[in-house]
């Protein structure tokens, strides 16, 4: 089972590397509400999730479903435009698969965002929770 997972990660990573000659060390998973950050990336390459072997495809309408490679304020990054959720019916292995692929591509720092709420009346929009 682990060998099969490793093989699928390698296949996905090899495909992506063959499409984009760019090796960022920072990955960003753009969650709900942070998709506009992609507008600030000077894009050098894009890879659609549906083209990547073994990669899940986002079912959330607002998630574009692609990897963006480029520079964000001079920093080489790869951004996931769309992610996968257990509540969409994906297994936990599928939900975490893209993170494993990013690691295989050489990502050392991963920034993950999400939309969330809290019951604390002292929370304000934009607070880090």
CATH classification of the domain holding 31: 3.40.50.1580
Q: Is residue 33 part of a domain?
A: yes
Q: Is residue 100 part of a domain?
A: yes
Question: Could you list the residue range(s) of the whole structural domain that residue 23 is in?
Answer: 2-112
Residue 33 φ/ψ, nearest 5 degrees: 90, -10
Q: Is residue 129 part of a domain?
A: no
Q: Which residues contact 31 (CB under 8 A, 6 or more apart)?
A: 83, 112, 113, 114, 115
How many C-alpha atoms does 44 have within 13 Å on its Cβ side?
A: 15
List, run by run, the mean pLDDT of 10-residue segments along the chain (129 residues): 90 97 94 80 96 86 84 96 86 94 98 83 82
Q: Is residue 121 part of a domain?
A: no
Q: Is residue 23 part of a domain?
A: yes
CA distance 87 to 40: 30
Q: Is residue 125 part of a domain?
A: no
Output the pLDDT for position 26: 98
**Domain total in the chain:** 1
Record the tokens describing residue 37, joined without a space.
């950050």
Output the pLDDT for position 18: 96
Output the pLDDT for position 57: 84
């Amino acid at each position: 089972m682990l060998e099969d997972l490793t093989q699928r990660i390698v296949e996905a990573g090899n495909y992506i590397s063959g499409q984009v000659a760019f090796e960022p060390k920072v990955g960003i998973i753009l969650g709900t509400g942070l998709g506009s950050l992609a507008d600030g990336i000077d894009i050098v390459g894009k890879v659609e999730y549906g083209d990547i072997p073994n990669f899940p495809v986002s079912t959330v309408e607002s998630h574009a479903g692609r990897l963006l490679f480029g520079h964000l304020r001079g920093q080489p990054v790869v951004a996931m435009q769309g992610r996968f959720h257990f509540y969409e019916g994906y297994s936990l292995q599928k939900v975490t698969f893209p993170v494993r692929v990013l690691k295989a591509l050489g990502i050392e720092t991963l920034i993950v965002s999400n939309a969330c709420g809290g019951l604390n009346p002292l929370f304000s929009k934009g607070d880090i929770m």
